[in-house]
Chain A
Amino acid sequence: MSDDARRLKPVDVVIVGGGWAGSIMAKEMTEAGRSVVMLERGPDRSTASEGAYPASIDELEANFRYKLFQDLSKNTVTIRNNSQQTALPYRRMAAFLPGEGVGGAGLHWSGVHFRIPPDDLRMRSRVIEKYGARFIPEGMNLQDYGVTYEELEPFFDRAEKVFGTSGEPYMINGKVVGKGNVFSPSRSDHFPLPALKDVYTAHLFRKAAEEAGFHPYSLPAANASRQYVNPYGAQMGPCNFCGYCSGYACYMYSKASPNVNILPVLRQHPLFDLRAGCHVLKVELDADGRRATGVTYTDPDGKVVTQPAELVILTAFQFHNVRLMLLSGIGRPYDPVRNEGVVGRNFVYQNVTTSNVWLDRGIETNQYIGAGGGGVAFDDFNSENFDHGPLGFVGGSPVWVNQAGVRAIAAAHSGGPPGTPRWGSAWKAGMIDTYRHSLRIDAHGSNMAYRDVYLDLDPTWKDAYGQPLLRMTFDWKDNDIRMNRYVVDKIGDVAKAMGARRVNLTKREFGRPFDTRQYQTTHLGGGAVMGSDPGTSALNRYLQSWDVHNVFVIGANAFPQGTGYNPTGMVAALAYWAAHHIRTTYLAHPGPLAG
């Protein structure tokens, strides 16, 4: 196919995927004076059109017809729980909801904007230091990222300033300055905006968590608590807690998105060329496979064209980056039997369960009020903030009320307390009581990497372009189930302190396989991870392919294991980190940045 493809005029940099990572890399590369083509397979999108009030806040279209999400009819994945099964196509949206179109999932995300805990970056080393190497279960591929929090700090800071993130700090330059998360590392500066107000449920949760002896803090949110102008000159309006974040373009210009915070500036740049409706088929390599020469894609008319470039940056969603590496022959595919190869290895998810608390019928919890990134959390059982020694599991979970706005169809589907019928008068009564008087508390846990959990290409099913679908082999493991069950019990303590009328603690169950039919989270990770050992990582610590030095791969694919936090803050920081090293070193001296 590539031989017949029309060849376009060469450019300096081609970027695959128009979400957060792609927009950050494009901004950085144009600042460095390089010509950039950004290819996005979905349509062009802007807040002015997709976010126009009131038509944009249509729950049916946004959350049940997936207006801004990936078109599964063209491309999906296959899924199985273990390598003995036949993986079957993920035919309908359910467990996870990947994005599509300019802005990517960054247009319709919620806005929780974290810095990764320092211990998570060196999880393997930390666990061995604290508990010894034998503590790591057989078959768990626990790894370090190969980069430290201190190295990443300036880039976390940069990302927060670009995103207009609202939050309360705890420590700046080693000095305690505020009531933020006592477990969070020292920062070089304040958040650009103060924390959002607590919605009522978050307010109640904060008081109860304190009473239960935990350390609640305001979730860092890329939802602007005040009017804000970011370092690029992009403007945000103050969040009005409309309750339409996840699945929607923010009509208030309050939720950070590539479309609001970067692209309005980037689109004006003469070196920037955005091409929507362009689906990349593969990265082209030279004859010995050591250097990329560009990418081949189908344009909006269905013509196959090749875009030559000096530098190829993959910034598609986590699993699309991994698939493109497999389709292009970049890096050695993972073989779980021989335990060799790296592309597809350490595929991870996130271990989220949502519990429910019913309060007195005199208390209206107003679940329709919300900001996607707002809320109150405690980290007493996240990362290495607690002693795992007697517990016998690796990993942890923040606990929070993150009331992003519960809308009517979702409330109808959730229905009443466990045991309530799904329809009829009993359902109606239970649903109304639950909507008006309850709140949701999440355990948003980590998911470790395992030797028999991985990504490869499916032998049977193809996408609309005739290329094999990506195959996921995934199931929950006892270590992660034990972690979830331990942390969810703490939610019971908080609910008691809240004076709950009724509590439903939702825990992962041993032996119950991963269920693709129920939404869990879109925080997928790994599969092309960063690290310091080419034997266990596809990318070096600068997110550069070990094998093809002019290919960088930016995304949650780089996480060696799943964290308890939402991934976007880390992805943005890694993008700025990689861009910094490309600008300061690679452009002048192209070649491997790590030996």
Chain B
Amino acid sequence: MKDKILTFIIIGIIAIMGNWVGYDVSPIDALPGMMIIVAVTILGFFFAKISPIKLPIVVWVSMLALLVTTPIFPGNASIIKVTEQVNFMALATPILAYAGLSFGKDLKEFKKLGWRIVVISLVVYTGTFLLSTLVAEIGFRLSGKFH
């Protein structure tokens, strides 16, 4: 747990730097928001650990983050205001950087695969994205929302 908290802080610092370089938000302005994001994430991990209901950690973190920014939570307006300083794209870039750096580990496994499974995997990912987008679009057009 201690190592995870340290990791959150390191990634937070990296994202603050990215937020500065890419979105011109000075680290001083972004720091309070990032501290709240890190704190909520740690709390999410903590709840996932102590809760008798077994839910993925992602669900705990999301629900907690959602809760503290809804109007029923005291101070939600200031939480929204300071976390707005952290661009969501700045938090996504480190994810893809870590993903990139882990690329080599599966290459050996990949070379053993036949071409069919490679084609099918692309079809599978196309299917899940395309069909859900299509259903959402039909839903919006039928209900007249956002159009």
A and B held together in a complex: no
